[in-house]
């Protein structure tokens, strides 16, 4: 863990501390000085309490004792992130899944047929109640019939009850044959399935269209289903795991093209008061890239990505985890489990912990002046009025010296670091000076505190690290 130093704004000691920090990071470039301005009067968006979520292939639900009230470690891993959240069950495997009430569960890839039964769904319901989270469930449009979808939907509703967020019909329908880039054909099939399900479940709630990349599917779906849907859904991966650009440097670059797609989705949803969610996302599709997706650099990407979604009015994220459609546990998984079912946290999970601390309440307008450094900064005000500042230095070589006026005037600034021995580290990751215990428990360690008499906070943020600053309320 590289040492981090708090630098007081007026003292000449700042130069000395900066040189000490750089001596511990010989590969780093000289620190660039940047200014961060928090506009506490301007609210960009409100972050829902269930913003954070996980995404799974349906085959995960067929695993014995995985989603279960008897899995205390995973329950703790969930609850570390908040009392509410959203589990999305779907993926490619959902279009190759059959529900057999008393059948034998079978975990298969997308090339075969996965089988889930009533007990699998009951276990999932108990797990959801133990965590306090809800479930978005994907039905089989690809290889199943509407009659089978009705039977499955009824079973899901009976098992989950009030833990069921919504149903979806089909996964990545814009890529699926015969609906590939044919929205009208997909929408006709969707309405056929929905009508059949509604005959058995008149109050069923639906989300969609679960588009992989075609934004127009989302725009049209929202326009035509606005009065009868819960949440618009869309997917994102930076690129494919086998592509040449599946590198850490590419992952950490800003994706302006995706931001433009987010703006289009927001423009379609906002006037109709429909939330939208990126309900399947991670670094590189196809299970991620070994040596990139399973390292600390991925955590920096994930933390920035979550805040960036909030800045574009998104209502939440479901980071893909566990077994994928190809039958192996993805490199990018925030949570992994071994053959005995023991769960543990990977680097990306620590980004979720950092967001759970600071990604609450109102997202505030934040301006930064960092033309040469790959740096992002976001600020929030939580329901108690406490302001947080997240500084994410995604530059793999350049440290920065950040200056920010305290939004509460004179007072304490508590610092919580997200760091690791190196950007490519797969272990040794900490947030708030703490690691996740073997039993899934975690709590923030003691913060670094600095009294700021001048009202300004000045500090060094090393390359490939992130910092959460908690500004104590002004004393009255």
Query: What would the pLDDT profile of 263-311 be if each residue is shown by its tens digit?
Result: 999 999 999 999 999 999 999 999 999 999 999 999 999 999 999 999 9
Alpha-carbon gap, residue 473 to 470, rounded angstroms:
9
Contacts of 50 (CB under 8 A, 6+ apart): 82, 84, 85, 86, 133, 134, 316
Alpha-carbon gap, residue 162 to 133, rounded angstroms:
10
Model confidence pTM above 0.95: no
Domains 6-45+361-471 and 50-358 are alike in CATH topology: no
- The HSE-up count of residue 227 (CA atoms within 13 Å, CB side) is 1
Residue 163 DSSP code: G
The pair phi, psi for residue 296, each rounded to 5°, is -65, -30
How confident is the prediction for the chain on average, in pLDDT? 91
> Which ranges in 81-163 belong to alpha helices (H)?
91-94, 118-131, 146-160
Q: For the chain, how far is it from start to end, CA to CA, in angstroms?
A: 38
3-state secondary structure of 210: strand
Alpha-carbon gap, residue 266 to 254, rounded angstroms:
19
CATH superfamily of 50-358: Glycosidases (3.20.20.80)
All structural domains of the chain with their residue ranges? 6-45+361-471, 50-358
* Under 8 Å between Cβ of 276 and 320: no
- Two tokens, residue 350: 């620590």
Query: What would the pLDDT profile of 56-77 be if each residue is shown by its tens digit?
Result: 999 999 998 899 999 999 999 9
Q: What percent of the chain has pLDDT over 70?
A: 91
Query: What would the pLDDT profile of 405-453 be if each residue is shown by its tens digit?
Result: 888 766 678 999 999 999 999 999 999 999 999 999 999 998 877 655 5
Pick from 221, 99, 96: nearest CA to 170:
96
CATH superfamily of 6-45+361-471: Golgi alpha-mannosidase II (2.60.40.1180)
Alpha-carbon gap, residue 215 to 119, rounded angstroms:
37
How many other CB atoms are found less than 10 A from the CB of residue 369?
12
Question: Which pLDDT score, from 0 to 100, does residue 446 have?
Answer: 80
For residue 3, pLDDT over 60 is answered with: no
Alpha-carbon gap, residue 399 to 157, rounded angstroms:
51
> Which ranges in 256-404 belong to alpha helices (H)?
256-269, 296-311, 347-358
How many other CB atoms are found less than 10 A from the CB of residue 422?
16
Residues pairing with 203 in the sheet? none
3-state secondary structure of 375: strand
Question: Which pLDDT score, from 0 to 100, does residue 447 have?
Answer: 81
For residue 143, pLDDT over 90 is answered with: yes
- The HSE-up count of residue 328 (CA atoms within 13 Å, CB side) is 9
For residue 473, pLDDT over 70 is answered with: yes
Average of pLDDT values for 219-240? Answer: 98
Contacts of 28 (CB under 8 A, 6+ apart): 22, 397, 398, 399, 462, 463
């Amino acid at each position: 863990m590289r040492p981090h130093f708090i630098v007081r704004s007026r003292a000449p000691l700042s130069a000395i501390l900066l040189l000490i920090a750089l001596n511990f990071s010989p590969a780093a470039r000289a620190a660039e000085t940047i200014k961060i301005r928090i506009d506490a009067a301007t609210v960009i968006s409100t972050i829902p309490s269930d913003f954070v979520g996980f995404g799974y292939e349906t085959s995960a639900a067929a695993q014995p004792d995985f989603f279960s009230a008897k899995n205390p470690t995973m329950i703790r891993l969930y609850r570390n992130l908040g009392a509410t959240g959203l589990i999305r069950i779907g993926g490619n495997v959902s279009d190759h899944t059959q529900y057999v009430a008393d059948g034998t569960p079978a975990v298969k890839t997308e090339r075969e047929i996965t089988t889930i039964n009533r007990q699998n769904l009951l276990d999932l319901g108990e797990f959801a109640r133990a965590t306090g989270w809800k479930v978005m469930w994907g039905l089989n449009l690809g290889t199943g019939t509407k009659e089978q979808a009705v039977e499955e939907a009824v079973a899901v509703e009976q098992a989950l009850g009030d833990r069921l967020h919504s149903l979806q019909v089909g996964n990545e329908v814009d890529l699926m044959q015969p609906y590939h880039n044919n929205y009208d054909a997909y929408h006709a099939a969707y309405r056929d399935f929905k009508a059949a399900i509604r005959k058995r479940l008149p109050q069923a709630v639906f989300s969609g269209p679960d588009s992989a990349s075609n934004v127009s599917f989302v725009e049209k779906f929202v326009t035509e289903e606005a009065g009868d849907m819960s949440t618009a859904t869309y997917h994102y991966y930076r690129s494919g795991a086998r592509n040449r650009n599946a590198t850490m440097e590419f992952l950490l670059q800003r994706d302006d093209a995706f931001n433009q797609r987010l703006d289009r989705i927001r423009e379609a949803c906002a006037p109709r008061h429909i939330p939208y969610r990126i309900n399947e996302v991670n670094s590189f599709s196809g299970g991620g890239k070994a040596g990139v997706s399973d390292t600390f650099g991925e955590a920096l990407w994930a933390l920035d990505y979550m805040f960036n979604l909030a800045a574009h009015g998104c209502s939440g994220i479901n980071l893909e985890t566990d077994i994928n459609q190809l039958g192996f546990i993805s490199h990018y998984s925030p949570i992994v489990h071994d053959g005995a079912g023991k769960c543990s946290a990977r680097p990306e999970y620590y980004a979720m912990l950092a967001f759970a601390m600071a990604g609450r309440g109102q997202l505030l307008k934040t301006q930064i002046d960092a033309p040469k450094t790959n740096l992002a900064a976001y600020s929030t005000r939580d329901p108690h009025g406490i302001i947080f500042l997240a500084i994410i230095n995604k530059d793999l070589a350049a440290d920065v010296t950040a200056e920010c006026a305290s939004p509460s005037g004179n007072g304490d600034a508590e610092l919580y670091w997200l760091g690791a021995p190196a950007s490519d580290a797969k272990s040794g990751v900490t947030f708030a000076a703490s690691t996740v215990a073997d039993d899934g428990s975690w709590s923030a360690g003691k913060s670094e505190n600095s009294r700021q008499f001048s009202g300004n906070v000045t500090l060094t943020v090393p390359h490939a690290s992130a910092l959460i600053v908690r500004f104590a309320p002004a004393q009255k």
